[in-house]
Structure 1
Amino acid sequence: MAMHLPSNKGRGRRAPMAEINVTPLVDVMLVLLIIFMVTAPLLTAGVPVNLPESRAKALQQDAKPVQIAIDRVGDVYVDTVKVRFEELPQLLAPLAQKRDADGKPPQIFLRADQALDYGKVMRVMGELNRAGLNRVSMVTDAASANDAAGSPAAAPAEAATKDGAQ
């Protein structure tokens, strides 16, 4: 293995070093990678909800859905904004007017704590249906035996309505 060492033969001047030291660059990139890996899961969940487990597969989504969460005490959040249940119809009306490229209303992800009373979840689903938002998916935690990654899954809700809306 040959190595070029600068010699002191030429009047005390050294040749300029033409190599780039990539070790600091690699160190910085690894630290940034770790930071992004730790913070990325924290950016997806806005409201802490203890989700039930499900064996449903995750849905493929193109557009960003509207997140509605109901926490353990029954507080309702639209995205990350806490709203009173009485204000929910006024907030859902403008959402129902928005349409995607196919003319469908926006996708709704409903996240509800597993310890929550079933009636509270159905009240929110009833308001969604009344507003015309019938593309509702209930978000669950994937069953640990079926999904080693443990990523949340969204299962389409089968709403029991007269028109068979989903």
Structure 2
Amino acid sequence: MAMNVAGSSGGGRRGRRKPVMAEINVTPMVDVMLVLLIIFMVSAPLLTVGVPLDLPQTQAKSLDQDKTPLQLSVDVNGKVFINDTEVAMTDLVAKLKAITDARGGMDERIFMRADKKADYGTVARVMGQLSGAGFKRLALVTEVEQGQ
């Protein structure tokens, strides 16, 4: 048995090794994503339907969504407005109570707007009067900053 050691080209596959392929095969990933997309598209409408119920009938009032919000404004000069009507500081609580009683009670939210350059003391005095009169749902209205 003679072995050819020097310059042997025999031996099958050892000498002809292919370089490692470094590319990513994205086809299986795309296939999986498409299958998941179809599954979510089919199952999403089923999740939002809800449980069918036979609800009892009552005489309760429906929620009044068309009611305009009650706005309280303080301008640069310290004048106080309810919606668009100017109100003296001494009459503020009485007029707000009358309006909220006519609209359904003191649990109504009051939106308070104040000019950026309005006196802070005036705004604090208005908020103090409202809090002292029992108005607990006061929301301060601001604008979104532009260019940020």
TM-score normalized with structure 2 length: 0.49
Larger Rg: 2
- Higher relative contact order structure (alpha carbons within 8 Å, sequence separation ≥ 6): 1
> When the two structures are superposed, what TM-score results if normalisation uses the length of structure 1?
0.45
Bigger proportion of residues as helix: 2
Q: Give 1 or 2: higher strand fraction.
A: 1
